[in-house]
Amino acid sequence: MPRCLLIDLDGTLVDSEIANCRAFLDLLPDLPLTLPQLIASYRGVQLDRIIEDLTQRHGVAPDADFVPRYRAHVAGLFERELAAFPGVAEALDRIDLPICVASSAPRDKIATALQITGLAGFFGDRLYSAYDVRAWKPDPAVFLAAATGMGVTPDQCLVIEDSAVGLAAARAARMPVLHFTPHEDGDQDAQAEGRFTHWQQLPDLLAAAPWGVAIRG
């Protein structure tokens, strides 16, 4: 039975990928990609890597202050429209297991997203950012740091992820992973130990074999 649940933020707890990608279209109007194409190509990918890839593939030339402008623009979109996926709070309330966030996002973005969506109370200060370890998914460092911070070993963790890079990071950390696929364009990972499409399904999935997690209510 797992002793700790490590949960990704963007696209897993909160439905943020649309805002994250729409900000590129708002700030780079000459970008020859649609919103669905951006989401499919860059779900879970670290910001600097996205900018580098867009520059190489599509010849965009973000100015020197693009990153802070992008962060500010996303923050404004979050304030207006960010929401948790349906059923997240109810599912977390039923799971009798220590939980934390392990994300490639900056710590302040994690905290803001949880506050806006009403999920902050479930996690407290148990927020682990790739920016703290200076290594981004698919590197497993943020998951390994989260395990250390939570006082468990990698084999005692269970990861919840939505993106290909996150799933790869979990496997590199030698942690079992459940694949959350809320959208039709989501990657289907045959190597994940389980899959769910709605958060309402998670408590029953965790209660069943092989996990055997205690569920409240």
Q: pLDDT by residue (tens digit) across 105-150?
A: 999 999 999 999 999 999 999 999 999 999 999 999 999 999 999 9
3-state SS assignment for residue 103: strand
Active site residue 108: no
- Residue-level pLDDT at 217: 86
Residue 49: CB atoms within 10 Å: 13
pTM (two decimals) = 0.93
Per the residue annotation, which of 8, 15, 139, 162 is the catalytic one? 8
Mean pLDDT of 4-18: 97
Q: What angle do CA 75, 141, 118 make, to 5 degrees?
A: 35
3-state SS assignment for residue 215: strand
Work out the pLDDT band at 173, boundaries 50, 70, 90.
Answer: very high
% of the chain beyond a pLDDT of 70? 97
Q: In whole angstroms, what separates CA 20 from the centre of its chain?
A: 12
Work out the pLDDT band at 186, boundaries 50, 70, 90.
Answer: low
Q: Rounded to 10 degrees, what is the CA torsion of 179, 183, 185, 186?
A: -10
